[in-house]
Structure 1
Amino acid sequence: MARQEINIGVAPTGAGGDTTRSGAVKINAMTAELYPLATGALPRSESGYGGVMPLVNPLDFNWPLTKTATYIGQGTVNGPEAGDFYVEVGYLNDLNMIVTATSITSRNTYIRLKVGGWGSWNKVYTSGNTTKGSGGVLSAASPIVRIANVSQSQRRDLQEQYFESAGAWGVANNEARGVTVERIAVGEYRVVGSLGLAFEGWRTQDPCSPDGGRTLGVTDSQQEADGSVLIRLFKQRWTLTDDGEMIPGRGAPMDVPLNSWIDVRLEMPKAEAPPPIAATED
């Protein structure tokens, strides 16, 4: 597209002059004419370098990205998930750029590269959407509550970054904030403050030795009608069958070993998105 020179006539004061705000309106009107909004795009706000771009959906690649900039937009078109996003565009040229999009609601971050043509969205896994099990294995999971005797635990990594107190018998990450754990009896715990166990994927992980070795107990979970979750822990018992096979089973109830914890993956109410950014007067 050929460059167009437009005299916007901005002057701070004086007859026939424009205020700064009216000048900005003219610029926006100019860019909206040069770069029409993509179909289905929702106007938001934008800031960056190299001039003014139209207020469009930054996750819709049917309109030209022609500079490095920061955007606020919605991921309803060609985006990794629905909702509001903070978007960073790193522009090298029309065929090479990188886009990073972070959801305001879920806090997930995605990266998409353009090297000649657009690649697929790739989800970024961080300490905010993963958890390290008691055996040291990293897994994609959140929200998470860890059941343990917090005051007597021998594990320095029990309450690592982003984990907060969830009562005397648990800690929870940011996504599970507000959840509490109480001990009912030996090896029996109640988790309250969530919608219950995760709807999809794994729900509980047995306590393991710190070196990632053997399992220290067998976990059982039960969801109550009120949304609370009952977690029971049993000693691991092995039974020798007539064929000479060792079959694992449940023994007597036991409390969580002091050198481990139980991971419980929950379903939480959806976080409310922050209010829209209001336009400011110049």
Structure 2
Amino acid sequence: MTVISGILKDPIGGPRSGVVIELRAVRTSATVVNQARSQSITDATGKYTLTVEPGAYDVTVTTDGRQPERVGGITVALNSKPGTLNDFLTMPGEADLNPAIVEAVDRMRAEAAASAAAAKISEVNAKTSSDNSASVLANTYTKDNINKLNATASYLSNTVTWQRVGKIANFGQNGRTLMIHLGGNGGYNGGTGNNGFATIIIRSGNGTVTTINKPGRASVSAYVTAGTLILDIGLIESAANTYELYIKYDSFASNITATIDNTSISDTFSNWTWDRTVIDEPEIILGHEIVKSWTSTNLVSPLKKGDYGLGGTDPINEIDANTISANGFIKYGPNTPNAEGPGYWAGISGGFDSTSRWTMVFGIGSPSNNKIAVRGRTSAGVFSPWSILWHSTNTTVDANGFIKKASPIVKLFGDGQCELNDESHSVTTERISEGVYRISGTLGFNSDAEWGGVDGGIEIPIDRNKLPLVWVDYEVDEAGDLLIKTFHRINSTAPEFAQNVKAGYKEGQPIDIPAGRWIDLRVEMPAGDEPEPVIESESIQQPEVETDQPAELEQGDTPEAETKK
């Protein structure tokens, strides 16, 4: 078996990790069957390793969960030596080995074996012909100051210039890749904005397009990491598998150098020729693009992970709720000045402009749990009071369909069953006898004014005419439990059609809560339970404990009083 290994790099030379490289057999051989697969995932350094049996394979790569992309095909022979994936991808395939190519290869081998001295002379001549400057290496190009390139007398009069940089021959249709690094100066001074650096990638097609210089035959991309050294780029196929590279320089570009990346295959060096010819704008048909690679140096105010609370789990911590925050995610710690309450809060801050602002925060944990608080700030710099939003946790729909503040609430049904919320979860209820129910685990009724103040924590069901269906009374037994008592209510003063007449029951007779209806009880819980959230500032009356007199039922009426009517 043959080992294929190497380092996978991005266009600017950095390692690419987490990339899936897959080889899939395209036909059955002596050692593999058709469609057999071998995979390697690049590590943090971009390293990959594949151990492959002899055969023909399609090569695909998959990055960041995207669809696999075919990058070419390779053939592994019994005598293949270990190499990189690029080595195998750029190795001529059967379709490339026509008689002319075979003859050329044989001729090259004969010439190479003729004389080492002759080969050395040939190498020197190749260097000389590739660049007119004696100081330039075979794979390196240096352009003089742009004044000479443009043949103009004044630096300030330079114009935008297209130049043929070089050409590559024998660049077959099997996904070959050539990488060139370009550097120089793009302006008057040495600031980072004028530094110019780009990586140019030329890639041939896969053989599906056979007409030369047509889209799909090859493409070129320039990855620009800084400055404005080049404005455009192009590629022209001047002959079959021979491509000329054109670059449009910025008018102030100077001191330009170019180098073929050492990861490019060795035969690319011998097939590449540098050029300096200034030309009019070429007609570019093949695919080309300039990709700007933004960095924290060349991008104005780059947005980084964590800015404004984005991209992470920790929002911006405000030490005072009156701080004018930028639009983003914020949080308040315990006892933050000017927050709605003493607990933990987290939410968002926004606004119309820098003075007219708004904030919405959510309570996290006791005593602010499940609160949603909002407030605004006027253009005059005045903050409004915090407002608490009502929702399904801090409200309840009473027996008659009205929304009321909830916490804690007990819904008591006719069979003695109940429905509790988070604050009343430890309460128990039972039916003692007809119309008599025991409520255990409370300290009595809450004195919330919105429920009627002292003794007002009871909401009874009504009919379609808004007339109560029952009378209700309560007492506290010797164990401290609430005893809720319900009595039949006829509403005898109402028109006959509106009276609550029930066979077998007289006015004021004990009766169960009507089926399908319930009584809402807003109770006070023991201190051991979670504290009740303070929803708004209001004057709370202390309950008056009455142990020897029953509470009045409604507007001073009692069951006995109505019976006498």
What TM-score comes out, normalization by structure 2 length?
Answer: 0.32
- Which residue of structure 2 lines up, in the alignment, with residue 125 of structure 1? 390
Which of 283, 288, 309 is matched with 1:48 structurally? Answer: 309
- Which residue of structure 2 lines up, in the alignment, with residue 251 of structure 1? 508
- Which residue of structure 1 lines up, in the alignment, with residue 319 of structure 2? 57
Percentage of matched positions with identical amino acids: 26
Deviation at 1:124, TM superposition (A): 0.6
Question: Does the Cα contact within 8 Å between 1:47 and 1:71 map onto a contact in 2?
Answer: no
- Which residue of structure 2 lines up, in the alignment, with residue 113 of structure 1? 376
Question: Does the Cα contact within 8 Å between 1:134 and 1:212 map onto a contact in 2?
Answer: no
Unaligned residue ranges in structure 2 (runs of 5+): 1-306, 452-456, 494-506, 532-565
- Which residue of structure 2 lines up, in the alignment, with residue 235 of structure 1? 488
- Which residue of structure 2 lines up, in the alignment, with residue 261 of structure 1? 518
Provide the C-alpha distance between the structure 2 equivalents of 1:54 and 1:169, rounded to a whole number of angstroms: 47
Tell me: higher relative CO, structure 1 or 2? Use CA pairs within 8 A at least 6 residues apart.
1
1:123-202 map, 5 Å: 123-149=388-414, 169-201=417-449, 202=451
| Aligned residues: CA RMSD | 3.3
- Which residue of structure 1 lines up, in the alignment, with residue 458 of structure 2? 204
1:63-102 map, 5 Å: 63-75=323-335, 77-102=337-362
Provide the C-alpha distance between the structure 2 equivalents of 1:47 and 1:228, rounded to a whole number of angstroms: 53
Q: Which amino acid aligns with 1:259?
A: G
Deviates more, 1:225-234 or 1:169-178: 225-234
Question: For residues 3-27 of structure 1, what are the alpha-carbon distances to aligned partners after superposition, in whole Å with 9 as ceiling and x for unaligned?
Answer: xxxxxxxxxxxxxxxxxxxxxxxxx
Provide the C-alpha distance between the structure 1 equivalents of 2:375 and 2:478, rounded to a whole number of angstroms: 42
Provide the C-alpha distance between the structure 2 equivalents of 1:55 and 1:110, rounded to a whole number of angstroms: 17
Provide the C-alpha distance between the structure 2 equivalents of 1:255 and 1:47, rounded to a whole number of angstroms: 58
Question: For residues 152-182 of structure 1, what are the alpha-carbon distances to aligned partners after superposition, in whole Å with 9 as ceiling and x for unaligned?
Answer: xxxxxxxxxxxxxxxx521112222122211
* C-alpha spacing 1:83/1:228, structure 2 compared with 1 (3 Å): farther
Deviation at 1:264, TM superposition (A): 0.2
* C-alpha spacing 1:120/1:136, structure 2 compared with 1 (3 Å): same
Provide the C-alpha distance between the structure 2 equivalents of 1:237 and 1:182, rounded to a whole number of angstroms: 26
Provide the C-alpha distance between the structure 2 equivalents of 1:134 and 1:86, rounded to a whole number of angstroms: 34
Deviation at 1:75, TM superposition (A): 4.7
Deviation at 1:144, TM superposition (A): 0.9
Question: For residues 26-48 of structure 1, what are the alpha-carbon distances to aligned partners after superposition, in whole Å with 9 as ceiling and x for unaligned?
Answer: xxxxxxxxxxxxxxxxxxxx971
Provide the C-alpha distance between the structure 2 equivalents of 1:53 and 1:126, rounded to a whole number of angstroms: 24
SS of corresponding position for 1:134: coil
Provide the C-alpha distance between the structure 2 equivalents of 1:238 and 1:143, rounded to a whole number of angstroms: 31
* C-alpha spacing 1:177/1:50, structure 2 compared with 1 (3 Å): closer
- Which residue of structure 1 lines up, in the alignment, with residue 298 of structure 2? none
Question: Does the Cα contact within 8 Å between 2:318 and 2:332 map onto a contact in 1?
Answer: no
Question: For residues 116-142 of structure 1, what are the alpha-carbon distances to aligned partners after superposition, in whole Å with 9 as ceiling and x for unaligned?
Answer: 232221111111111112221222232
SS of corresponding position for 1:196: coil
Provide the C-alpha distance between the structure 1 equivalents of 2:465 and 2:398, rounded to a whole number of angstroms: 9
SS of corresponding position for 2:423: helix
What TM-score comes out, normalization by structure 1 length?
Answer: 0.60
Provide the C-alpha distance between the structure 2 equivalents of 1:259 and 1:101, rounded to a whole number of angstroms: 38
Question: Does the Cα contact within 8 Å between 1:204 and 1:262 map onto a contact in 2?
Answer: yes
Deviation at 1:86, TM superposition (A): 2.8
Question: Does the Cα contact within 8 Å between 1:67 and 1:89 map onto a contact in 2?
Answer: yes
